[in-house]
A and B are shown apart, each in its own frame.
Chain A
Amino acid sequence: MKTKSLLLVAVDFLIMFAGLGIIMLNQYPNIDYSPVPWALGAAVMGFAIQLFLVKGRYSSDIWVFPMVLFFSSLGIIMLARLKPILCVPQLRWLMIGMAVMLGVLYFSRQLKNMMQYQYILGICTLVVLCLSLVFGVEIGGSKNWLVLGPISVQPSEFGKILLVLFLAAFLSDHGEMLNAAKRKFLFLDLPPIRFIAPLLVIWGIAILMFVVQRDLGSALLFFCMAVFMTYMGTGSKSYVFIAMLFFGLGAAVSYAFFSHVQVRFNIWLDPWADPAGQAYQVVQSLFAFAAGGVWGTGFTHGHPGLIPEVHTDFIFSAVAEELGLLGCTVIMMVYVMLFYRGIMIAMSCKKELHTLVAAGFSIALFTQAFIIIAGVTKFLPLTGITLPFISYGGSSMVSGFIMIGLLLSLSKKEKVHGA
């Protein structure tokens, strides 16, 4: 049974090589073989890691990793088709990501210990997020990049890991108090302000990102994470209500004062008011979904290049056009399965802290996929954010693999000492 999971990895790389093969055949006679060695390297690494996971020394889950590889393979062939120049870098990021994941698994014992230092985690979260607030450089309309020599990093991608860790630690420690020391205010149960302060800070930072950095996607994700984590840790509907109030106020104020928020919202309300201007990207994305239909136009046969920035935020539209509703369904189903496995891991954790961390990561990845898919389909206002493991992006890839690494290490059944 366990070794059969290798079959899944084989299928993932079959997808990758079939896709790359199609693209190379299209290039004939001037074939660009440069991705081949990298793809082979990634395949060897993928199989080795799955074999390692099957042995079960650091993890007891063998299904999550093949699913992640499925997304990565799909992302790489879509990139090879949309922006061939980014195919090799993405393969490189995939290998770096897998290596980082191995590192996380190897040091999982130490990392699990570190998870308990809630205030250090809290400070780290603040520092990482403030780094981009203060030193952020604008790339592609969002001021959320840190340029470190040759590489650009998106701190918010790593901030979301720290956020989950911090909230999990804080809530597993203070959950009882947050619930016990309540005061009634109208129909809301309010805890003392010193307990709720850290949450308010996180929410505030989310709003700041929203406004200062124009990084609406990350802001929305952070906010959702904070609300989900708080609810999971305390079960208090009052917090959810307060958060919603906070969010509603923040959104209303930003809408009133900031033009870029207004633009996003108006595009969502009526993209046909300015289809050739501000709503161009979303309208083209909708056309891509329509062109795909049920079966899709077939890989390499669509025109997703008509959508600006299709290789990052809008990669799902390219999938929808070329692989159709079938492709969309498969991707969404695999995200659901990944989410399901993640929640199962959370359920089997022996410690509250670990349960919260595993559930937090699972929900974070799932919510991120939801936000961007909803954005490109105009289901919700568009907020730029990557589609986990599929969109191009080093920071997003590496941070994703860190989360998967931690999730896998939490799946390891261990003896609980004195609990």
Chain B
Amino acid sequence: MGHKDIKKYILHCSVFMMACFLCLFGYIVYLQVIAAPSLAANPMNRRGNAALDIVRGSILDINGRELAKSSQPGERSYPYGEIMAPVTGYLGEAIGSDGIESVAGSDLTGQSQQLQMLGPIGQAMQSTQGNNVKLTVDADIQQLAYDALGSHRGAVLVMNAETGAIIAMVSKPAVDPTDVESNWKSLTAREDSPLLNRATQGLYPPGSTIKVLIADAALDEKVTDLNEKFNCNGKLQIGNEYIGESHGAVHGNNLTLKDALTESCNVTFGTLAMRMHGKGLENAFDRFGFTTPINSEFNESTCHLPKFSSLGDGDTAQVGIGQGETLVTPLRMAMLASAYVNQGKVMVPYLVEEVISPVGLVIRKASPSKWMEVTSDKRANIIGGFMENVVTNGTGGAAAVSGVRVIGKTGTAENSQGADHGWFIGAAELPKGKIAFCIIVENSGGGGAVAAPIARQIITALRDR
């Protein structure tokens, strides 16, 4: 047992410890490089929202007016209060966030993924001020639509049909986002759901507005043509049940498809739905994207469609007039209307126009893109023409604006919660571009009387700018 042996044993121990250290180092590399993304995404990880030392950026409307602003870390005010609440959403330590505050959260705190990848170099570029987010929303139109709803609950959605930019997104009732966290318990318990963004999350039976889709589908499935004459005696008998016309109207026996849409004839559209059966209806709703998520800046509710193939004749006819189990969101109905002024194409709807750094540099700009081609250019013209007739000669007369081509469709949705909901969906060709809109006024009765005049106000305001 000599000194040499001891040195040999020391080397053994050293090599062993070095090997352990090397393994540990390898594990740390794994932790910080490979496992890092999944750990960062863990919901227990509060680091993403821990940006308490950063002054959150402002949310601006298309004209640069402030919809949400912060003057110091942790403080946030919303100059438009409940009017813009469905757009801005809310923010709270304990309640999380919603709306743009949620969707554009990392932009508003300035903590972009790219900057984080750069580490300290990114921090050098990171200011204590988050980025401003400029939206496509126009505060004037939003305000107008909000006021136009009056004391009714409901939603208004206005979008640019050619780009998908959302111009207004109103939901009523709403709550000033500054008050949400302190009243969280009572707000979430309220029967009128003020935190629900009705424009994207409200699910309603579409009523007669769905007839534009049914007309399109009937032509596509070739169960009718433009020359067929329908006969309406005010009642469509299906076994023991029947579908009637509203107000007991009788549309006569010389109805073309165009006339039927203009007069919103239930008998005709119930008949068309039954001719298409389950498969034809299913194809139509698929084609118009009702089963495809938008996958963008909206926290939307999924539209509820019945199992078309298992419906009896009576329920199939109900689909044709937008009653029964079918439930849709106002956003989807505005998108449906937009196809008829945009050559059958629907654009991806979006809210964030630009992300602007604190020094005014545009970091990101929205690029409008096509979502899907729901119908042909030719048929869009045909149905668009029918819808124009609805405004000029039919139930949507209240939406007519001089000097502007307005197309539309009224709807009246029966529901279990009292008086009918009034719908008006449509589009307008303004000098500065084409818009599509959807208005729903809860428990207001027919859409032609209450919802269509709101559309008229919006179109007039946009025409006069």
B94 on the A face (CB < 8 A): no
Are B31 and A289 interface neighbours, CB within 8 A? Answer: yes
Cα distance A374–B24 when bound, in Å? 7
- Answer whether residue A308 sits at the interface, using C-beta atoms and an 8 A cutoff: no
Q: Does A232 contact B (CB under 8 A)?
A: yes
Which chain A residue has the least Cβ–Cβ distance from B14? A343
1/0 per residue, CB under 8 A from A, across B2-13: the answer is 010111111111
Chain A contributes a number of interface residues (CB within 8 A of B) equal to: 52
Q: Known: A290-B35, A332-B21. Is A235-B14 also a contact (CB below 8 A)?
A: no
A298 touches B123 (CB 8 A): yes
Residue from A235, A290, A324, A379 within 8 A of B119 (CB atoms): A324
> By DSSP majority rule, is chain B's interface helix, strand, loop, or mixed?
helix
Contacts of A286 in B (CB 8 A): 31, 39
Q: Given the complex, which residues of A lie within 8 Å of B17, measured CB to CB?
A: 339, 363, 366-367, 370
Could you tell me the distance between the alpha carbons of A370 and B20 in the complex, rounded to whole angstroms?
Answer: 8
Q: Say how far A366's CB is from chain B's closest CB, in angstroms.
A: 6
Task: Pick out which of these stretches binds chain A: B42-50, B191-199, B345-353, B369-377.
Answer: B42-50
Contact assessment for A339 and B45 in the assembled complex, using a CB-CB cutoff below 8 Å:
no
Q: Are A234 and B28 in contact (CB under 8 A)?
A: no
Asked if A235 and B40 sit within 8 Å, CB to CB, the answer is: no
How far, in angstroms, from A320 to B124 measured CA to CA in the complex? 18
Q: Is the interface of A mostly helix, strand, loop or mixed?
A: helix
CB <8 Å contact, A175 and B1: yes
Give the Cβ gap from B253 to chain A, nearest Cβ, in Å. Answer: 71
In the complex, B18 has a CB within 8 A of chain A: yes
Which of chain B's residues have a CB closer than 8 A to the CB of A329?
25
Q: Please, how many residues of chain B have a CB less than 8 angstroms from a CB on the other chain? A: 46
Q: Mark A376-407, 1 if CB is under 8 A from B, else 0.
A: 01010000000000000000000000000000
* A234-262 interface code vs B (CB 8 A; 1 in, 0 out): 11000000000000000000000000000
**Mask for A163-193, Cβ within 8 A of B = 1, else 0?**
0000000000001100100000000000000
Q: Roughly how many angstroms separate A325 CA and B119 CA in the complex, as a whole number?
A: 11
The segment from A5-13, A150-158, A299-307 found at the interface with B is A299-307
Contact A377 B47 (CB under 8 A): no
| Contact A296/B119 with A275-B44, A291-B47, A339-B14 known, Cβ cut-off 8 Å | yes
Q: Are A293 and B119 within 8 A (Cβ)? A: yes
Residues on B with C-beta less than 8 A from A235 are 1, 5-6, 8-9, 12
Contact B13 A359 (CB under 8 A): yes
Bitwise, A350-375 to B at CB < 8 A (1) or not (0) is 00100110010001001100100110
Distance in Å from the Cβ of A59 to the closest Cβ of chain B?
20
A347: interface (CB < 8 Å): yes
- Does any Cβ of B come within 8 Å of A200's Cβ? no
In the bound complex, CA of A275 to CA of B24 (Å): 23
B122 close to chain A: CB less than 8 A: yes
The interface residues of chain A lying within 8 Å CB-to-CB of B3 are 352, 355
When the two chains form the complex, which single residue of A179, A233, A293 contacts B117, counting CB atoms closer than 8 Å?
A293
Contact (Cβ within 8 A) A293 B32: yes
| B28 and A295 within 8 A (CB) | no
Least Cβ distance of B174 to chain A in Å?
A: 33
In the complex, per-residue mask of A131-155: 1 if CB is within 8 Å of any chain B CB, else 0: 0000000000000000000000000
Contact A363:B1 (CB < 8 A) given known A293-B36, A294-B32, A296-B120: no
Is A18's beta carbon under 8 Å from chain B? no
**Which A residues touch B359, using CB under 8 A?**
none
The answer to whether A324 and B32 touch across the interface, beta carbons within 8 angstroms, is: yes
Interface flag for B121 (CB, 8 Å): yes
Nearest CB on A from B126, distance (A)? 7
CB-CB under 8 A from A299, the residues of chain B are 120
Is B29 in the interface zone, CB < 8 Å from A? yes
Contacts A377-B27, A377-B31 known; list 16 others, CB within 8 Å. Answer: A235-B9, A287-B44, A290-B35, A291-B45, A293-B36, A294-B32, A298-B123, A306-B50, A320-B28, A324-B120, A339-B14, A347-B7, A359-B10, A366-B17, A373-B24, A379-B27
What would be 24 A-B contacts, judged by CB atoms less than 8 Å apart? A176-B1, A232-B9, A232-B10, A233-B9, A234-B9, A275-B44, A286-B31, A289-B32, A290-B31, A290-B40, A291-B36, A293-B32, A293-B33, A293-B36, A294-B33, A298-B124, A325-B29, A325-B32, A346-B7, A355-B10, A359-B13, A366-B21, A379-B23, A379-B27
Interface residues in chain B, defined as those with a beta carbon under 8 Å from any beta carbon in chain A: 1, 3, 5-14, 17-18, 20-21, 23-25, 27-29, 31-33, 35-37, 39-40, 42, 44-47, 50, 116-124, 126
